[in-house]
Structure 1
């Protein structure tokens, strides 16, 4: 048995349908999932750009390296300052790139 046994017909104008499909495309969700989210009181977010996932992977890698350095420093009582500084700088650069990608305005395409 289906989880959602009730279906109904919804009639839209061409303009309404085009608007709906434009919003659905931005989220990369199936149309039905998008509409269900709206019914439940949620506004689905747009799919983040591909760069977002690259940046998140980079932050995870940096965090992992810093964690390993902290564990080694705790175990040995010695912190490799040069390596730590390199990872801290890498983290700073990654955060700066994310800020640029997310907050800086983009030139309009004409």
Structure 2
């Protein structure tokens, strides 16, 4: 969506520092943070590096399982329906983790 309306706000020094600090914690620009808040979403703080290391490891495990299953399927050693179910479960698990730790949530504030 093209943004064509400019809004200018005035902050005290502490307010400006607070906005800057909160934007940095969420890895968003100050403008992006304000836009999310106006639309009723509460952004989450960026997880630490350990989270991303674990996600990379989970992804690598998923890739290894996929390679093994392709090989087993080619040799006729696998139940394809069971494999499909497990793959769907794996993808759902990864999506649930991302939703829990990365995606902003709809705010429960009543003034919206």
TM bucket by the smaller chain? 0.5 to 0.7
Q: Deviations over 1:46-87 (max 9, x none)?
A: 1222222222121111111112222222332448xxxxxxxx
Q: 2:33 matched to which residue of 1?
A: 34
Q: 2:10 matched to which residue of 1?
A: 11
Alpha-carbon separation, structure 2, partners of 1:7 and 1:67? 49
Higher relative contact order by CA 8 Å / sep ≥ 6: 1 or 2? 2
Residue 76 to residue 19, structure 1, CA distance change in 2 (3 Å): same
Deviation of 1:26 after TM superposition, in Å, equals: 0.2
Q: Greater shift after overlay, 39-48 or 13-22?
A: 13-22
Structural RMSD (CA): 2.4
Alpha-carbon separation, structure 2, partners of 1:36 and 1:48? 21
Q: TM-score, normalised by structure 2?
A: 0.58
Q: 2:52 matched to which residue of 1?
A: 53
Residue 78 to residue 4, structure 1, CA distance change in 2 (3 Å): closer
Unaligned runs of 5+ in 2: 79-100, 102-112
Q: 1:75 matched to which residue of 2?
A: 74
Alpha-carbon separation, structure 2, partners of 1:6 and 1:70? 53
Q: Deviations over 1:21-63 (max 9, x none)?
A: 1111101211111111111111111122222222212111111
Q: TM-score, normalised by structure 1?
A: 0.59
The structure with the largest alpha-carbon Rg is 1
